[in-house]
Structure 1
């Protein structure tokens, strides 16, 4: 298959011209309309000198302009660099310099973070939009939820997104090849500065299509109504959401992840597909309004970014009658590595099987010696359709990508078990293992036991250095708001009944919140660093 992202989208849009592509605040944008406005934006960008391969940052919240910007850049062979709209000036400066981006799309809510970088000359062009401008001007929005008073005129010297999409013209044919850059996504930076992950068109189309093939066993291509439950700048949000526009599906965009708005959107638009992190599903299940909404249209509920215990999946099934499919993925894999299929009985606790585009092997994390399958070890993956390394990060590339037997392999850092039938089970992150009294304690196992307590909604377990024991075990937990208080000793006794003696936490600390990535995943390494810094000061 030799395809590009733009060709795949254009062909899909032409075949489904009158079908709804995007829903936002109740307003529908058809595939034909979306294709037209993306072409106009691409033409306007090309007239202003944007070249094939040029990196352009998308610094926008969820809104139609985000989607139009991304595909408008694809139309001329330019390379989108999507980032979270919550970043401040320091992060913007780092990513702009690292990616080589000199143009940025932004909005009224975050222009103040762009302005000093624009004034300094780091950005040569800023394309500004009001998120209250909603859809193109010919799609006037009358929904009262968007206050017209929020409209802020474009600052002097910047380009107006609204003006650019009004311009007539066709985007020039870019001559994009499968091996050309389609996008650079930045990892959330759980281990230092964010790393750019460059996807070629070939990698993006192959990976997202493979993932859609698994979903198609439950919801056929072109039949899905997808609630965009994870950020568009995150690989989960692209592989399970945005890429649906390459298959003729409909995407429901919400400006923010308010849980009651999520529930209302599922009922109103008869959503078939939903995805998010385990935190997202817990918030839904524990929301007081969940029983007031009709969720019967859901067919494909998918969780990624972290492991979801079987006990929670059972609670979800009891409440909604739906199963939560899971998978193991990575930005570096352009999405899924494993996924649970919709047409087989799934063993409890499994994250599915390795997708067909990947070769997989297990190794000892320290020696790189291959482990047998079935067996346990660090998961390595390889494909003819994979990235070759990080953007401008040769040292990080050397740590994460390794050549074995003449093939390039990506080190996922995930310790997994693969059984004799190929089912994959998550054990832990290789760098997160706690070494206590000579034992290797798996934090996620302890966290699973803690979150099974009826009063605990989230947990993070880390190792604290100890001269005699190697590391002691500390648990940080969040209590459920609707449950009575629980004492530290009660949780320790709870763990003693369910864990080996060497796995029981030495301390339990109660927190209101725990640090999370933009996608909602608890940042265990950040917690561990904070706890060790506190200990060093004491």
Structure 2
């Protein structure tokens, strides 16, 4: 029996919740009736009330239906965080269809896979990305191409005065204010967003419920072509409502919506959680530390779900003292471990306990989270509401004792149905334990004596140095303690003697640019077991990151392998 965490469960919170029979769109309909004049979104200096949001969602749902979208059809959304993304996402659900969110950083060669694999015939995007989508579609066989492309310039949802305010980064102005010519879609039609909404077509009858497919997000594709994860309304609904309970999101919450809403965390713990609560989202199209600091101060943001790199970046801003963070009540996130030194600074200077959480695309976001009153640093937390999570031996699937590293497996209503059109991958991703279907995460962790989970690494990222198993995540967290290091990524390098050795790829703080590799190595020798000490140190200007802010360690590993 693995250790219990019940003693640390948040006060007055149920251990499991039921899932409503309604769809995700019903949450918007309820919030529109309850809070019609309350701001649902703020985009720089323009507010959109829940009444206005509901009207635009209905109008776009009606237009999509008129273009031929039917129950269960897949509609691709390729956007940065904007009001248009929120409207499009909800309108697709309103039209009884399925949202296929894609990373707006993808180029045409990558977008071809999402269009063809998802079988989407309609895509919605912004003007700056429309050409890439059209190019991707045009390169596909005629039967796999898009039939309709809906395009919105950012200016559709921008206040004209925004260009003169500090809410917008100077470097963003040409990007956000430029109007791009519409591309040509071979074998299909391109539609202007504003024109479709102006038609004010009546939406179809809403007939889907909890057991219908709502979302088809794709995995990162780090081990092959991205795979679509089939999520019903019920799995997304569960974690949206559970996130509100766990992180305290209410109708009074003002949430900074900067985590990308093409990513599962942004979709579930920000977009759908906020809509269900009747909260207000302050929408940022991408991260900029000074824009973020300004918006938190300007709108008195109370909740900020983020990636630790954002916190590190904001605290390093030369303008940091200008910003007022006193309104923040909840600051949480995941995707990477929060360095202990940064978490401690948040606690000591701002009385903010950073709530680390853990989840995957396959689990609709959180499967683990730290209890707000009993959070541990550099920790995944404890199993989330309704989740049964265990650490097992990846070979025998037997439960492991506290302190032993094994694979995280997860059962619960937030777990996806399976991979789209990939029966073999789906079968291999699940295992039956005690009569329940568990998802195999592929992540390695250990459980402490109080039932908290601590990541050790992914199964395939282990470095084997002369038989010693080295977990890169552990070394990265240790490196963050060095005062000169701003970002760190640990990869393996070939070693004729040891087989593999450790290499640290580092970004130095601007105040420590004179630090040498030898100084880093000397510090490591003083603070790490000998087999963990990097044999090589490389300084670079910035670590490569995905659109969701995660460090792309595999890209660095591939470059290293090619050089050897």
Shorter-chain-normalised TM-score: which range? over 0.9
Distance 1:384 1:235, change over 3 A: closer
The yes-or-no answer on 1:296 pairing with 2:322 is no
Match of 2:178 in 1: 150
Q: Which runs of 5+ in 2 are unaligned?
A: 1-19, 165-172
Secondary structure of 2:527's counterpart equals: coil
The yes-or-no answer on 1:277 pairing with 2:307 is yes
Q: Give the Cα–Cα distance (whole angstroms) in 2 for the partners of residues 110 and 374 of structure 1.
A: 47
Equivalent in 128, 137, 149 of residue 151 of structure 2: 128
Secondary structure of 1:8's counterpart equals: helix
Q: Give the Cα–Cα distance (whole angstroms) in 1 for the partners of residues 374 and 129 of structure 2.
A: 47
Match of 1:59 in 2: 78
Distance 1:222 1:433, change over 3 A: same
Secondary structure of 1:116's counterpart equals: helix
Match of 2:16 in 1: none
Secondary structure of 1:69's counterpart equals: helix
Matched residue pairs, number?
527
Instruction: Identify the range of structure 1 (394-403 vs 54-63) with the bigger mean alpha-carbon deviation.
Output: 394-403
Decide whether the 8 Å contact of 1:476 with 1:508 is kept in 2: yes
Match of 2:126 in 1: 107
Decide whether the 8 Å contact of 1:117 with 1:123 is kept in 2: no
Decide whether the 8 Å contact of 2:260 with 2:286 is kept in 1: no
Secondary structure of 1:370's counterpart equals: coil
Decide whether the 8 Å contact of 2:128 with 2:180 is kept in 1: no
Distance 1:310 1:532, change over 3 A: same
Q: Show the 5 A alignment for 1:165-204.
A: 165-204=197-236
* Residue 376 (structure 1) shift: 3.7
Match of 1:369 in 2: 398
* Residue 302 (structure 1) shift: 1.0
Decide whether the 8 Å contact of 2:364 with 2:414 is kept in 1: no
Secondary structure of 2:123's counterpart equals: strand
Match of 2:12 in 1: none
Match of 2:358 in 1: 328
Equivalent in 434, 447, 458 of residue 429 of structure 1: 458
Match of 1:31 in 2: 50
Q: Give the Cα–Cα distance (whole angstroms) in 2 for the partners of residues 171 and 193 of structure 1.
A: 35
Decide whether the 8 Å contact of 1:417 with 1:424 is kept in 2: yes
Q: Show the 5 A alignment for 1:402-441.
A: 402-441=431-470
The yes-or-no answer on 1:96 pairing with 2:110 is no
Instruction: Give CA-to-partner distance per residue, 1:245-274, whole Å, 9 cap, x none.
Output: 121110011233121110000000000011
* Residue 154 (structure 1) shift: 4.2
Higher RCO, Cα 8 Å, sep 6+:
2
Distance 1:394 1:465, change over 3 A: farther
Match of 1:68 in 2: 87
Match of 1:521 in 2: 550
Decide whether the 8 Å contact of 2:356 with 2:377 is kept in 1: no
* Residue 373 (structure 1) shift: 5.0
Match of 1:256 in 2: 286
Q: Give the Cα–Cα distance (whole angstroms) in 2 for the partners of residues 489 and 307 of structure 1.
A: 26
Decide whether the 8 Å contact of 1:27 with 1:141 is kept in 2: no
* Residue 433 (structure 1) shift: 1.6
Decide whether the 8 Å contact of 1:188 with 1:518 is kept in 2: no
Decide whether the 8 Å contact of 1:56 with 1:79 is kept in 2: yes
Equivalent in 13, 24, 27 of residue 5 of structure 1: 24
* Residue 319 (structure 1) shift: 4.2
Instruction: Give CA-to-partner distance per residue, 1:226-256, whole Å, 9 cap, x none.
Output: 1012111011212331121121110011233
Q: Which runs of 5+ in 1 are unaligned?
A: none
* Residue 134 (structure 1) shift: 1.3
Q: Give the Cα–Cα distance (whole angstroms) in 1 for the partners of residues 322 and 177 of structure 2.
A: 32
Secondary structure of 2:511's counterpart equals: coil
Distance 1:86 1:484, change over 3 A: closer
Secondary structure of 2:261's counterpart equals: coil
Q: Give the Cα–Cα distance (whole angstroms) in 1 for the partners of residues 480 and 395 of structure 2.
A: 31
Equivalent in 401, 406, 419 of residue 390 of structure 1: 419
Decide whether the 8 Å contact of 1:118 with 1:125 is kept in 2: no
Instruction: Give CA-to-partner distance per residue, 1:186-227, whole Å, 9 cap, x none.
Output: 1222222222112110111012211221011xxx51111010
Decide whether the 8 Å contact of 2:329 with 2:352 is kept in 1: yes
Match of 1:455 in 2: 484
Secondary structure of 2:313's counterpart equals: helix
